[in-house]
């Protein structure tokens, strides 16, 4: 990858990490949890949903997401997925990916081309997760 493309990839990736960090910080703090036997009742109705909660257990818990009808396999799967990807985890992933960028830059600074290339490959592979973003360059996904 030539120097301008490398710099564009790094800038793109760091901007997406900034987006992820902002979204995680704007969400209700985690960790979140889903318990298949604890449901959320829509106010004013008899409708119960699978739910993702945060905060202390019991009535003081905060519902951060209702995913659909109680005991529906899809609703249960959605709730488990949402709980698994809570803001604390998202922030940890952002920090780990930023470390890859730092390691790449450090290897470049010390002229460790093989190591720099390996870190850049890791950044490139992780950037593919943002392939639907309008600024994503399809050549990075190769």
Domain ranges of the chain: 3-26+88-141, 39-85
Percent of the chain at pLDDT > 70 equals: 99
pLDDT of the residue at 10: 97
pLDDT in tens, 79-101: 999 999 999 999 999 999 999 99
pLDDT in tens, 15-44: 999 999 999 999 999 899 998 777 777 778
Cross-strand pairs, 40: 49
pTM for the model stands at 0.88
CA atoms within 13 A on the CB side of 38: 17
Please give the angle made by the CA atoms of 9, 110 and 15, to the nearest 5 degrees. 20
Whether pLDDT at 135 is above 90:
yes
Structure-token pair, residue 44: 């004013």
pLDDT of the residue at 142: 60
């Amino acid at each position: 990858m030539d120097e301008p493309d490398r710099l564009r990839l790094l800038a793109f990736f760091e901007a997406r990490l900034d987006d992820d960090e902002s979204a995680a910080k704007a969400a209700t703090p985690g960790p979140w949890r889903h318990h298949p036997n604890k449901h959320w009742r829509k106010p004013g109705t008899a409708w119960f949903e699978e739910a993702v909660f945060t905060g202390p257990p019991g009535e003081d818990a905060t519902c951060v997401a209702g995913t659909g009808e109680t005991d529906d396999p899809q609703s249960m799967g959605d709730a488990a997925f949402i709980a698994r990807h809570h803001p604390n985890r998202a922030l940890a992933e952002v920090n780990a990916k930023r470390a890859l960028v730092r390691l790449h830059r450090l290897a470049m600074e010390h002229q460790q081309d093989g190591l720099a290339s390996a870190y850049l490959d890791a950044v490139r592979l992780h950037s593919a997760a943002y392939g639907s973003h309008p600024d994503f360059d399809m050549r990075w996904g190769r």
